[in-house]
Structure 1
Amino acid sequence: MNHAGDPVEPALQDITLNDSALYFNRELSQLDFNFRVLAQAQDANVPLLERLRYLCISCTNLDEFFEIRAATVRHAQDFGMAARADGQAPATILRRIHERAAELVDAQYRCWNEELRPQLAERGIRLLQPNEWNAEQREWLRTYFRDEIMPVLSPLGLDPAHPFPRILNKSLNIVVTVEGRDAFGREGHLAVVRAPRSLPRIIRLPDRDGDGDAFHDFVFLSTALSQFVGELFPGMRVTGAYQFRVTRNSELIVDEEEVENLALALRDELVGRGYLRAMRLEIDRDCPQPIVDTLLRNFELPSHALYRIDGPVNLNRVIQVYDLVQRPELKFPPFIPRQMRSVDSLFERVAEGDVLLHHPFDGFGPVLELLKQAADDPNVLAIKQTLYRTAKDSAIVEHLVQAARNGKDVTAVIELRARFDEEANLAFADRLQQAGVQVVYGVVGYKTHAKMLLIVRREGRKLRRYAHLGTGNYHAGTARAYTDIGLVTADPDIGDDVHQIFQQLSGLAPEIRLKRLLQSPFTLHAGVLARIEREAGHARAGRAARIVAKMNALSEPEVVRALYRASQAGVEIDLIVRGACCLRPGVPGVSDNIRVRSIVGRFLEHSRVYWFANGDEPELFCASADWLERNLLHRIEACFPILDPALAERVKSETLDNYLADNIEAWELQADGEYLRRSPGPGEAAHSAQAALLAKLSA
């Protein structure tokens, strides 16, 4: 069964490349990615606590999917927007989203109830239900509830004087049915208890005597609330307590053309983000239908947006157990990223030749050290950097602050609209501005997604530019969890290109002509199309032609059509697409020569690499952009070549050839939309791309 689009016809006669049968739906394809993540949680070969982590990732991903992708489809439905390339109307897509999401939720809770929770308990890590509490634990939890939880709760009885309260996005709530009369003679019926975000969602019970670190007992906050909520209604009888959670649209919309100060406007929007339109309701499976109907009416949701849950509605919160339990044998073996050889001056090292970093196997330290040395070097005159997402306690920000205090001219282009990082980025902007850094918020209407750092240094009588360009964010945490490519170079052409882009971002520069880089929204889209067509020309001329590209998502229709035409011309095309892919491979006469695979492993695949055979003169680019319409046409993105032949071959070998050989963590997309997991064939050696890189590169 195909989930990403309609079933492919056995034979497509006289098909045009605009035919909707050739395109999978982006949202449904993205949703299917989470089944591949969940498969890691179901894999007995993965360490147990890592399986728990994958389960939580799939739950968190689904939350974000409803907050953003499903909300976007709902918006398209409300405003009567036309169907996209796959030809499905928004209303149809939204219903199919709920159908497929229901399958995912069912699989998640079966994985939790039937596999992970029992297996964790066998190893001394218990997430206890009330019928599993002994008398001592019950009394401890009752005391904990009275002392730590009850003082911050504010139950709200529902009556004409107390209408249904505003429910915050993804917050934990209990709807309670009560009988009896209160002190004012009011008849009990329904009440809502909201759990403040200050309360821990996982409660750790005291260690069992003499058990040391081998045994751990936990209780979900939602379980404790449901059990002891009667304490909030003295003199009345609680007849039912049902946890629920609502997921809301979280896409902030700021009309940048109409605001005088983007930062102030964004701060205002953030206040109301948690109360935007509801998209999904999760509730206890045993909740009576009349109460469910009341909640659906209140949130203005259709019945197919309801998810009855067999377990805690906030299952993703069990991720806290991963950090609370120190059991190395139940986790992936630790690794130490490879560090660059120690040098007194990174500038001297980069002047000798380009430096390539493949995270997380190569450490992020050289990037931080480069910025630190630039901040302290009296010969450095200026530093310019883009910041899209960075860590809460970012050393990057502190180095920029120190550089400004040391008299450097420092410019930070901060993207305030980085989804879910808006508040943090506003705080970073304030911190930098107070230190004298020139803060720029990019270009109206275009998110700045490029990852660039430029350092201008005086060397003798000349100024020299040093640039760092990457596929990932300036975030030390994600540099240990995501695969990304970074390049540090003193190449004059690349340095000049990066300088011009910064000038364009901070000033009112006209369209620029770059020597080496491709840039969205100006030249990247056209540059990708031209290179795909060039490969098709080689194939039509009888020359060998090939394209290998790795990215997070692929949906831009013109790029998809160009790939189809190249396949028809005879170009061999291999695509490594982690998430959503709207291209349908393996269609006779259209995409026979296209193969698509997705890799899901220990690290999140995040690097974007494009390789074109180009006869005997191959080109390899790394980029911050996926092949999506937003990245290619509506964002500021940077795509940079790897000019050193040895480094280009290294990137191709490690990020492309290596992943095409994976037969452990690779999923191959079929023409009908199914993803089939690869496994070693008879006589074929097992190969995990990420494991191979860990063995080769990490210390």
Structure 2
Amino acid sequence: MSDANSVEKIIDVNSSEYYINRELSHLQFNIRVLEQALDETHPLLERLFFLCIFSKNLDEFYEVRVANLTRQLAFAREQAGADGMHPQQVLNAIHTLCSTTVERQYSILNDTLIPALEKENIHFLRRADWSEEQRVWVRAYFDDNIQPLISPIGLDPSHPFPRLVNKSLNFIVELEGKDAFGRETGMAIIPAPRSLPRIIRVPDALTSGGDHFIFLSSMIHEYADELFPGMTVKGCYQFRVTRNADLEIDHEDTADLASALEDELHSRNFGDEMRLEVADNCPEDMTLFLLKKFGLENNDLYRVNGPVNLGRLMEVIAQINRPDLQYPPFTPGLPKHINFKKSIFESIRDKDTLLLHPFESFTPVVDLLREAAKDPNVRAIKQTLYRTGAKSEIVNALVDAARNGKEVTVVIELRARFDEEENLYLANRLQEAGAVVVYGVVGYKTHAKMMLIVRKEGDKYKRYVHLGTGNYHAGNARAYTDYSFLTCDDSIGEDVHKVFQQLTGMGEALRIKKLFHAPFTLHKKLIEMVDRERGHAEAGKPALIRIKANGLTEPKLIRALYKAAQAGVKVELIIRGMCCLRPGIAGLSENIRVRSIVGRFLEHTRVYYFFNNGKDEIYAGSADMMERNLLHRVETAFPIENNKLKERMKNELEVYMQDNCQAWDLQPDGTYVRAQPGKNADIIKAQSLLLETLAASSS
């Protein structure tokens, strides 16, 4: 009996000690994003952008993940994952980690970024720094733009504590004296007008050059006493409450998903309270008063040294014309065989096309649909939409196709979190144009990225297909790394057709030849391929698994990877965000390496590579290795069978494994350590190398 086999019998791969809690792992990703704000290899305004992204990510974490844990406790539905942690334990750990990290975030802003911005003549002016001319301008701005919109609320029996909108900026005010009716309330609330910008640019004529900004909160602080005539404002402190924003729809009792969703969208702004952020100089009694009114505990409180919503600093970046402080622009590349002078259908017939966005252009995908909308030989177009964008060129082309008499069928996922309202609008627009719009399958989000075009060529129909790892969103295609695959392979075209049949019709699962399809075959096939690789290792053959995804949380797949590693399979995982697997544990996972790449672009590709005894198999797809994707969503994974394309994808995965600057390696305890180039070693940044290799130009 081999040593590996004897160890495998001793180690229980089901033991909770070998699994990292998914929520805490998610927070670790957000921390890696925050760390980019300190990375001086990023341009200065990009570092500010990373700080803002961390703030927005943390908002969503509380709106969804913390809300879910809190709901479990409230309704006695506690669920412990493979890590064995009780929801209350997880919430306690979240508070501990977030308290430290939020304090660090404000320290980075105040002690590092603001001084660095000031050296570049970019200033956030405090009230004490205003010149006399600026004070006159601020006064006029307050009188003309702020005061007419403000409705201060004195707190007394006839003015109960208001229900404040999710993540809105508010102020609690300490008052002294009596109002015109003789009331002596002591406290008031000032909700900041939601229609106003949170950061206002000072006119250049009032500065000595550079970029100068004043926070809306500073203006309200300055003139808060004028909102309460005859009374004295003893203190004015900003605060913000974060609410549960995860929509809940009872699918069994819902006859019309769109109508139900419209009803729920309004309630998102007034869900249960999850977190209170308050200025760090707010008196203890007023802070306790707010906690009581929101039904929150000390663990839900964050005292901050600065604006309560740092995500709004993103507004500043667009107002600063400093190309030297941002990434240089680039032109995405195009494969040589795609010629805009000929039909895109002809290019796809010539050869399968693989595009890696944003390094390569998303334009061929849009052009395929545009050409299909006008081509008299195109009879039908089928498309999935998850996140698309309000001004989507994809939707414009689908509308044109429907108006031109094509049979257009769109499966639009209304429940794409935080894009629900936009997707409702797009669904209505498509229906008005004559397209058939369906909302997928009740209980299963449609997350697959598929486009199918049926074209009459001679006396036969030819299917052209686009499959992707990312959404049909041109903006995301410039910011996220994603693969697009264009083919007219008959078997893949038939498979995609069958998946659309399942989404729009009803009936038993259809037999699919080449695609893996969640929730039916993808999970099973991935485990089978992992187990096959383990079999090769047990037979003494070389064995390698290399997977790139956004998350790895599904316990059965993790157990399969553990067993493969124990058998000697080399397992290399590039997991951007959540990873519940613990690498580097002797006798269990010393053959597993997990890394996360965080850089200029958001890593989003999902690729599954198996050495398979020298007969490489590569799949790309829409699914992460998570329970929701593999078991509760409609997903597809497609094979890359062309040898040149296989070799290309293998090389691109290898670049990510070699990255020694923007890679973070997961440790057995769940923390991450940033990779560092060794002495005299070449500096390798995966994203920079891919940009240099694939993009047309960078200037």
Does the alignment reach a TM-score above 0.5? yes
TM superposition shift of 1:13: 10
The one of 516, 525, 528 aligned to 2:526: 528
Q: What code does the residue aligned with 1:266 have?
A: L
**1:457-487: per-residue Cα shift (whole Å, max 9, x none)?**
0000000000000000000000000000000
Q: After the TM superposition, which residues 259-270 of structure 1 pair with which residues of structure 2 at under 5 Å, given as runs?
A: 259-270=254-265
SS in 1 for 2:448: coil
**Matching residue of 1:487:** 485
Alpha carbons 2:134, 2:206 under 8 Å: kept: no
**Matching residue of 2:537:** 539
Q: What code does the residue aligned with 2:48 have?
A: L
Alpha carbons 1:359, 1:483 under 8 Å: kept: yes
SS in 2 for 1:475: coil
SS in 2 for 1:199: coil
TM superposition shift of 1:129: 1.2
**Matching residue of 1:5:** none
Alpha carbons 2:146, 2:193 under 8 Å: kept: no
Q: What code does the residue aligned with 2:63 have?
A: E
Q: What code does the residue aligned with 1:195 have?
A: A
Q: What code does the residue aligned with 1:321 have?
A: V
Q: Distance in 2 between matches of 1:341 and 1:552?
A: 33
SS in 1 for 2:167: coil
Alpha carbons 1:12, 1:588 under 8 Å: kept: no
**Matching residue of 1:49:** 45
1:278 pairs with 2:273: yes
**1:506-525: per-residue Cα shift (whole Å, max 9, x none)?**
00031111100001100000
TM-score relative to the length of structure 2: 0.97
TM-score relative to the length of structure 1: 0.97
Alpha carbons 2:11, 2:587 under 8 Å: kept: no
Q: Distance in 2 between matches of 1:145 and 1:196?
A: 12
1:82 pairs with 2:79: yes
Q: Distance in 2 between matches of 1:211 and 1:29?
A: 47
Q: Distance in 1 between matches of 2:641 and 2:372?
A: 24
Q: Distance in 1 between matches of 2:677 and 2:284?
A: 49
The one of 662, 674, 686 aligned to 2:683: 686
Alpha carbons 2:8, 2:563 under 8 Å: kept: no
The one of 61, 64, 67 aligned to 1:68: 64
Alpha carbons 1:223, 1:312 under 8 Å: kept: no
TM superposition shift of 1:148: 0.3
Q: What code does the residue aligned with 2:435 have?
A: V
Alpha carbons 1:343, 1:349 under 8 Å: kept: no
1:181 pairs with 2:178: yes
For structure 1, which segment, 221-230 or 579-588, has the greater mean C-alpha deviation from structure 2 after superposition?
221-230
**Matching residue of 1:668:** 665
Q: Distance in 1 between matches of 2:436 and 2:422?
A: 18
Q: What code does the residue aligned with 1:135 have?
A: E
**Matching residue of 1:8:** none
SS in 2 for 1:178: strand
TM superposition shift of 1:34: 1.3
Alpha carbons 2:169, 2:239 under 8 Å: kept: yes
For structure 1, list consecutive stretches of 5 or more residues without a partner in the other structure: 1-10
Alpha carbons 2:619, 2:640 under 8 Å: kept: yes
SS in 2 for 1:534: helix
TM superposition shift of 1:80: 3.2
**Matching residue of 1:235:** 230
TM superposition shift of 1:14: 3.3
Q: What code does the residue aligned with 2:674 have?
A: R
Q: After the TM superposition, which residues 127-526 of structure 1 pair with which residues of structure 2 at under 5 Å, given as runs?
A: 127-208=124-205, 211=208, 215-339=210-334, 340-526=338-524
Q: What code does the residue aligned with 1:650 have?
A: R
Q: CA RMSD in A?
A: 1.2
Q: Distance in 2 between matches of 1:493 and 1:303?
A: 59
Q: Distance in 1 between matches of 2:8 and 2:51?
A: 39
Q: Distance in 2 between matches of 1:312 and 1:663?
A: 35
TM superposition shift of 1:309: 0.6
Alpha carbons 2:164, 2:270 under 8 Å: kept: yes
**Matching residue of 2:580:** 582
Q: What code does the residue aligned with 1:248 have?
A: R
Q: Distance in 2 between matches of 1:253 and 1:209?
A: 50
For structure 1, which segment, 283-292 or 219-228, has the greater mean C-alpha deviation from structure 2 after superposition?
219-228
Q: What code does the residue aligned with 1:670 have?
A: Q
Q: Distance in 2 between matches of 1:43 and 1:230?
A: 42
Alignment CA distance shift 1:209-1:221 (3 Å) = closer
The one of 12, 19, 22 aligned to 2:18: 22
Alpha carbons 2:8, 2:566 under 8 Å: kept: no
TM superposition shift of 1:377: 0.2
**Matching residue of 1:120:** 117
The one of 3, 27, 31 aligned to 1:31: 27
**1:526-563: per-residue Cα shift (whole Å, max 9, x none)?**
01000000000000011111000000010000000000
**1:306-326: per-residue Cα shift (whole Å, max 9, x none)?**
000100001111111111101
**Matching residue of 2:558:** 560
Q: Distance in 2 between matches of 1:379 and 1:22?
A: 57
TM superposition shift of 1:104: 1.2
Q: Distance in 2 between matches of 1:569 and 1:653?
A: 26
SS in 2 for 1:279: strand
Q: What code does the residue aligned with 2:16 have?
A: S
Q: Distance in 1 between matches of 2:79 and 2:444?
A: 23
For structure 1, which segment, 78-87 or 544-553, has the greater mean C-alpha deviation from structure 2 after superposition?
78-87
Q: Distance in 2 between matches of 1:442 and 1:226?
A: 50
Alignment CA distance shift 1:12-1:677 (3 Å) = farther
The one of 633, 636, 639 aligned to 2:637: 639
TM superposition shift of 1:210: 8.0
Q: Distance in 2 between matches of 1:512 and 1:563?
A: 29
For structure 1, which segment, 220-229 or 568-577, has the greater mean C-alpha deviation from structure 2 after superposition?
220-229
**1:394-435: per-residue Cα shift (whole Å, max 9, x none)?**
111111010000000000100000000000000000000001
Q: % of aligned pairs identical?
A: 55
**1:331-365: per-residue Cα shift (whole Å, max 9, x none)?**
11111111343242000110111111100001111
For structure 2, list consecutive stretches of 5 or more residues without a partner in the other structure: 1-6
Alignment CA distance shift 1:615-1:209 (3 Å) = same
Alpha carbons 2:8, 2:588 under 8 Å: kept: no
